[in-house]
Amino acid sequence: MKIIYSIVILLSLSFTTFAQDIIRGVVVDAETKESLPYTNIILANAKKGTVSNADGKFNLSLKNIDTSDTLVFSYGGYETVKVVIDKLPRNCQIALKPNIVNLEEVEVTDKQENVKDIIAKIEDNFEKNYVVEAPYKEKLYIHNYGITEFDDDILDPMLVKKSSFEGLNQETFDELKRVLPKEFINYNDAQVMLYHKEDEAKLSNLQAISLEESTASEAYDQLTEKFEGFVNDMESSFNNDEIYYRFKMGIISTKIRGDSTDTEDASDDFERDSTSYTVGTKYIRGGINELKKNYASLDNKNWEFVTKRGKYNYTLEGASMMDDDVVYIITFKPKNGGLFFGKMYVSTETFAVLQIDFEYAPNKEGRDIHLFGFGYTETFKKGRVLFEKSGDKYYVKYINAEEHTTFSVERSFALVKKQKRFFVDKTLNEIKIKFNIVADSKETKELLVLDRKDITEQSYDMVEEEEKMKFQKIVTTQDYIWEHGTVIEPTQELKAYKRKEITENK
């Protein structure tokens, strides 16, 4: 009994110590008491930090942090609040007061700026403000949460019109449809180190987790079991000069080849078992860079409200303070084909964007492609980006991106196994399937820079990027403790989320 009591006491002390090493809180409007989502939270001296989540809540690990440092809370249009960490309770509420003033009340420039001139200067000064060539490293927290729902009202999403392959018939595809969940949920978080040098980057994994649906896992297992023989036969044909497979779609026909190095490498990049799965590191790194490019750069179509100024109306709402910068508050809405409406906070001194919020305006959509039986429509897009200044450059601090798309396939496909002959190749087996699939996908991506430091070229060159990145599978966010410090506090929705069991789908 003494041993049991000792263990309980040690566990309690460990939990207490862990709890004391984290500050948790919520950021609210001082007047309305409404939460302020995505508030920038930075350590004044260490230049580390976090942001509040969609509910206004945050957590900050105090591991390796000087508690005499000052925590700075800044939010566009509100007064900045600075508090010494030692004076903060471990559970706290931070109230920010609105701070929007008329331009006449503060001297922001030598002369009154025309609002379109301000937007033009954002573009003119972008490279000077944001492009960094000196090597540096970032500790990042990345989060992805996506749901894909299939239209369950379609009676025959996969209709086998013809098949001479053994085991590949309508019954096989009906069984596959039965075990497929109505929705696929993707939830993964990771902490990584990303190293930069000019246009190059390398990534090192610290820790990664995934809440994988067991329903999707069973579907994957059954899919593997049902089609294993077929896939093995196709792969064996790659080494047989007399046998080959051909894919046909209407008048389009192409031979399936197995001599592509890229194809072989891609298949090796994805592995899974019951406790974890691995993904090629280059795909994770590429996804991070793509997110930054699409939401925090002029080099994409999303920032058309800066680069296509003729498509937008702008209003200069006033001025405010963000940390130590005086900023213009500019709202924009579309005209003449523009897609977005939103608000940006622009430095009156450097014309750098410190914070920007944008989303598709009502009744607006992005790409809408319907061709050869394929459909793809971007129905919703929303982004928030926070930047922070270090030296004379501005860096991405936080990105929150939400995208909704609809896609459909209404098309017949055929796969034919053939044997080479002198005149006309012989058909050995053929399967012809008509797909009628409609699905809606919603995805949220978050990127938070936890820490950033300059490095030397030699340090960058010494970094070796591993080929694969491992994600540990977990059941719920409640049963996992991050070993590497601060993460974005899960929203109430994600805290309540738990992996569904297969019995719930039957």
The helix-helix angle for 214-237 and 170-179 (nearest 10°) equals 150
pLDDT for 128 equals 95
- Distance of CA 112 to CAs 107, 108, 458, Å? 9, 8, 47
pLDDT for 216 equals 59
pLDDT for 503 equals 38
Residues 6+ apart with CB under 8 A from 135: 195, 196, 197, 454, 455, 456, 457, 459, 460
Inform me whether the pLDDT recorded for 131 exceeds 70. Answer: yes
- Phi, psi dihedral angles at 473 (to 5 degrees): -80, 135
pLDDT for 125 equals 96
Q: 2-99 sits in which CATH class?
A: mainly beta
| Matching residue, tokens 């005209």 | 335
Inform me whether the pLDDT recorded for 353 exceeds 60. Answer: yes
Q: Mean pLDDT score of the chain, rounded to an integer?
A: 84
pLDDT for 275 equals 82
CB 15 within 8 A of CB 450: no
Mean pLDDT, residues 97-119: 69
In DSSP notation, 287-343 reads HHHHHHHHHS-SSSSTTHHHH-GGGEEEEEEEEEEETTEEEEEEEEEE-TT--EEEE
pLDDT, tens digit, 9 for 90 and up, residues 385-411: 999 888 899 999 999 999 999 999 999
pLDDT for 474 equals 80
Give the integer Cα–Cα distance in Å for 4 and 198: 57
| Cα four-point dihedral sign 283, 284, 287, 288 | negative
pLDDT, tens digit, 9 for 90 and up, residues 278-327: 999 999 999 999 999 999 999 888 999 999 999 999 999 888 888 778 89
Mean pLDDT, residues 241-257: 87
Inform me whether the pLDDT recorded for 194 exceeds 70. Answer: yes
Q: How confident is the model at residue 185 (pLDDT cuts 50, 70, 90)?
A: confident
Give the integer Cα–Cα distance in Å for 349 and 108: 8
Which three-class secondary structure state does DSSP give residue 101?
A: strand
Inform me whether the pLDDT recorded for 505 exceeds 70. Answer: no
Give the integer Cα–Cα distance in Å for 373 and 45: 57
CB 351 within 8 A of CB 115: no
What is the CA angle 254-259-265, rounded to 5?
110
383: tokens are 């982004």
Mean pLDDT, residues 467-481: 77
User: What is the location of CATH 2.60.40.1120 in the chain?
Assistant: 2-99
pLDDT for 156 equals 83
Report the residue count for the chain.
506
Which three-class secondary structure state does DSSP give residue 483?
A: coil
Nearest C-alpha neighbor of 181 from the set 231, 224, 222, 229:
222
Mean pLDDT, residues 369-377: 91
pLDDT, tens digit, 9 for 90 and up, residues 198-217: 889 999 999 998 876 555 56
pLDDT, tens digit, 9 for 90 and up, residues 5-24: 343 333 333 333 334 478 88
pLDDT for 15 equals 37
Give the integer Cα–Cα distance in Å for 433 and 373: 14
436: tokens are 């009628």
